[in-house]
Amino acid sequence: MSVDSRSYSPSASKPEQVVADWHQYQLAIETQSFEPSTADALCTVHDQTHVLDVLEGRKNNGHGNRILEVSESCLWTVGSFVAAAHEAVRNGKVACSPTSGFHHAHYDHCRGFCTFNGLMVAAHGLVSDGKSVAILDCDAHFGDGTQEIIERLSLGDRVSQWTYGRDMPDQFHFAEFEAQIRQFIADFVAKTPAGQRILFYQAGADVHTGDPLGPGELRGMTDDDMRQRDRLIFTLCRDLGIPVVWNLAGGYQRDRHGGISKVLELHRATMEECALVYRRCN
């Protein structure tokens, strides 16, 4: 069965489709295996009763159901993101986790297709290792779960967040977006020693002007804007020597056959820009 069959979001089956697409287009990727996350790891940033209730089917997951297969798949998405974050730190450049479904997950409740907050599980672990984390959340929606956990666990000195859903004005202009991103990264660099930095980049595809759950024509990004967005962020991080781990986040456009070809195209563009930017530093 398709694990997302009872949800509007394609996120539970998206990693497999996205990676298959990248292989089909022969993008320069190297895949690595990883371990799933654990209940104990989730409990570093979530309420323990909440975690166990969801994992054991007593409480709805972020997709609004209690299917154990869906809830358990979240251990794999969180594990993937944590592993990719460590790989980015190890190689000092970039790693990708082809995952979604993190930023609306709060300390003790799921919301909006998000069950557990893999961004914050990874951030908490890295902070414990002496790192500081900048979260650049370019999904269309406010990373409210991320923000709540940052504040609740008093991580604000070590984890900062820029989120499109809260921080972009009502009308999109690339120059203004670029200025905000440059400022956010400059602030991060100013307050964090070089060896301690890592940036999480949620490369959401639902900021696209055509997304049914996105910001719309005026506040959304075109195909070209999104490529420029990706190029800007990867180039800044490369030039400043900030390791970056990125993931997919939202993207809800369907083609007339019910497939996600447009979403695949947008995520492919991000991987193409990533490969182009980092190829130049080898």
State the nearest-atom distance from the C-beta of 139 to Zn ion, in Å: 4
Angle (deg, nearest 10), helices 14-24 and 261-279: 60
3-class state of residue 45 by DSSP:
coil
Cβ(15)–Cβ(8) below 8 Å: no
The DSSP string of 176-242 is: HHHHHHHHHHHHHHHHS-GGGEEEEEE--STTBTT-TTS-HHHHSB-HHHHHHHHHHHHHHHHHHT-
Q: Which is nearer to Zn ion, 141 or 238 (CB)?
A: 141
State the nearest-atom distance from the C-beta of 259 to Zn ion, in Å: 19
Q: Which is nearer to Zn ion, 47 or 223 (CB)?
A: 223
Token readout for 9 is 């979001």
In the bound state, the residue with its beta carbon closest to Zn ion is 250
State the nearest-atom distance from the C-beta of 250 to Zn ion, in Å: 3
Distance of CA 137 to the CA centre of its chain: 7
Q: Which is nearer to Zn ion, 39 or 213 (CB)?
A: 213
DSSP code at position 116: S
Q: Which is nearer to Zn ion, 118 or 250 (CB)?
A: 250
State the nearest-atom distance from the C-beta of 234 to Zn ion, in Å: 21
Cβ(192)–Cβ(132) below 8 Å: yes
State the nearest-atom distance from the C-beta of 147 to Zn ion, in Å: 14
Cβ(29)–Cβ(22) below 8 Å: yes
Q: Which residues contact 207 (CB under 8 A, 6 or more apart)?
A: 138, 139, 140, 164, 214, 215, 220, 221, 226, 229
- Rounded to whole angstroms, how far apart are CA atoms 197 and 49? 32
Q: Which is nearer to Zn ion, 8 or 25 (CB)?
A: 8
State the nearest-atom distance from the C-beta of 208 to Zn ion, in Å: 11
Q: Which residues bind Zn ion (CB under 5 A)?
A: 139-141, 206, 250
- Rounded to whole angstroms, how far apart are CA atoms 254 and 256? 7
Q: Which is nearer to Zn ion, 138 or 236 (CB)?
A: 138
- Rounded to whole angstroms, how far apart are CA atoms 94 and 126? 16
State the nearest-atom distance from the C-beta of 121 to Zn ion, in Å: 19
State the nearest-atom distance from the C-beta of 140 to Zn ion, in Å: 5
Q: Which is nearer to Zn ion, 22 or 142 (CB)?
A: 142
Q: Which is nearer to Zn ion, 139 or 148 (CB)?
A: 139
